[in-house]
Every structure is written in C-alpha cells, then in structure tokens.
C-alpha cells in the first residue's frame, strides 16, 4: 500500500518552489532592467556622438582655408597706376595658403592721389559709381595723377537666389588679375554693363566667361579658373577681413557697405551719379 502523502512536507516543498520561482523572476526582471538601462544610456551616448560629429562636420565644412591668392592682389585688391598714357598693374606675388593680406603702403605713393574702392559686382550702387566715374578715373590714371586700387568682395551673395554671383564674379576678377591683369579695368566695366538685377539668379559661369573674353581677357587659363572657382577661398577670406577689420589707409573701422571709396584716406560720401562731385572731392584731397 502506498503510504499517504505527508501534507506538511508537500506544503513546504510547494512554498520553497514558489519562493525559488519568485527569486528567479526577480533576477530575470533585474537583468532586463539593467539591459534596458544599458541600451538607453548607450543609445543616448551614441546619439550625442552623432550630434557632436554633425556639429564638428558642419563647423569644419563652413571654415574654408584662405587658400593661395591670385598674383597681383596681395593687398586683397589690385593696384593700378598710369604712366605715358598707359594703365598698368603694380605686380605682386600671390599670397601663400593662409598668408594674410599685405596692405598697400600709401605713404610711399606721395606723387599721386590714391583712390581705393571696395566693390561688389552685384551691387547696383557700385554700378552707379562705375558708370559715372570710370572714364575720368581712367583719364586720371593715364595722366599718372592717381593710383586706383580695386577690392572686389562678395558682399551680396544672398541677392542672387543661391547662385552666389558676388563670389563667382569676384573670383573671375581674381582670375583676370592673376593671368591678364592689364585687362582688369575693362573686365570690371563689362561686369557692370552686364550686371544682373538683385533678386534674380545672376549669370552662369559661361556668361561670365563670355563677358570676360569680350572685354579682352583671352588668356586660355581664365575659363577653367572661373569654372573651378580657383580663388573662391581667397574671395571669402578678404571679404571676411574687410567686414571685420579696419580698412587700411583710412580711419574706417570696417566695411559696412559698397561701394566704399577712399581718397587719400578720406571716404567719399557724395553723389554716386555726379561725376563733377567726385572730381571735386579728388581735387580737394589732392590739395590737402
């Protein structure tokens, strides 16, 4: 005969078994909590790393090295002078990668009135100044009465619907300064004659090349210089310098508008469409 079960022992066994199951369940739950916490923390760390990486990429991508500059623009602009009825460029070596601009020492230019113009080829007011005064500036240059230093900058990139015409035209001017500097003034005149309106898409690289060639700058290396934007970083660097630092040979703290025209250290603030007003200002500075 099978002995009757010991009810006391069975109860203890069931109780112990229940406790063991509860212990196992608690440990499993604790392991799940630890695992979930690890994934949450790990995911947060990973997300933070991704965010940092994105920020670093964005910052480093937005900071472009100055890059080597064009020949004949060591000051950030091109310096023109005249002798015997001819306009010529004051030759300078190209800035090396990361090298700061070297302002023109106008203290050595004592026999001329020294005019400096900061311009943007997208700027309609620069067009007014150019159209009004180009002829008399060239006449004064050919007489040897003045020097004329032109600083093309990219001040109005936001005015060409993402086309960045200011940067691309300033780069094209730098290409001309590098390869065919004596055509620089003619190219500047042509750029203003063909200036796109603000708020439009600007002009294509091919249109810029056509304009440059039409102005007489036919060096075979200029088109590829324009399409590759060879001096884009140089343009960005000199623009940033002009917008944040004191303008050389003047008391102007920084560039705030274009055109900014300086004659023997004094800013011209007269009419942009009155050639006689500018002529009188130049004469006054010559006499002072």
Q: What is the CATH number of the domain that holds 173?
A: 3.40.30.10
Count of domains forming the chain:
2
Domain with 20, as residue range(s), is 10-63
Q: Is 3 inside a domain boundary?
A: no
Same domain, 47 and 88: no
Instruction: Mark whether 113 and 150 lie in a shared domain.
Output: yes
> Both 89 and 217 in a single domain?
yes
What residues of the chain score a pLDDT lower than 70?
1-18, 20-21, 28, 30, 34-67
What is the reported pLDDT for 35?
62
Whether residue 231 is found in the same domain as residue 121? yes
Residues 47 and 92 in one domain: no
Q: Quick one: pLDDT at residue 124?
A: 97
Rounded to whole angstroms, what are the CA distances from 149 to 75, 186, 272? 9, 14, 18
Which pLDDT value is given to residue 86?
95
Residue 38 forms part of a structural domain: yes
Task: Note the pLDDT of residue 48.
Answer: 42
**Quick check: is 72 in a domain?**
no
């Amino acid at each position: 005969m099978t002995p009757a079960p010991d009810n006391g022992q069975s109860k203890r066994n069931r109780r112990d078994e229940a406790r063991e199951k509860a212990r196992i369940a608690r440990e499993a739950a604790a392991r799940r909590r630890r695992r979930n916490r690890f994934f949450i923390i790990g995911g947060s760390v990973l997300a933070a790393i991704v965010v940092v990486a994105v920020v670093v990429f964005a910052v480093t991508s937005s900071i472009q090295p100055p890059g080597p500059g064009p020949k004949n623009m060591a000051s950030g602009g091109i310096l023109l002078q005249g002798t015997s009825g001819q306009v010529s460029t004051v030759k300078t070596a190209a800035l090396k990668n990361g090298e700061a601009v070297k302002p023109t020492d106008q203290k050595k230019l004592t026999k001329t009135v020294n005019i400096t113009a900061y311009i943007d080829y997208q700027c309609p007011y620069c067009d007014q100044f150019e159209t009004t005064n180009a002829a008399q500036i060239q006449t004064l240059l050919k007489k040897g009465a003045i020097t004329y230093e032109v600083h093309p900058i990219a001040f109005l990139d936001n005015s060409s619907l993402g086309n960045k015409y200011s940067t691309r035209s300033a780069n094209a001017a730098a290409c001309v300064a590098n390869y065919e500097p004596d055509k620089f003034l003619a190219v500047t005149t042509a750029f203003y004659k063909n200036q796109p309106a603000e708020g439009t898409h600007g002009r294509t690289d091919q249109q810029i090349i056509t304009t440059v060639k039409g102005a007489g700058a036919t060096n075979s290396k200029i088109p590829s210089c324009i399409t590759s934007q060879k001096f884009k970083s140089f343009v960005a660097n000199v623009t940033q310098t002009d917008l944040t630092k004191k303008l050389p040979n003047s008391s102007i703290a920084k560039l705030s508008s274009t055109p900014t025209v300086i004659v023997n250290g004094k800013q011209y603030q007269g009419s942009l469409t009155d050639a006689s007003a500018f002529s009188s200002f130049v004469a006054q500075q010559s006499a002072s």
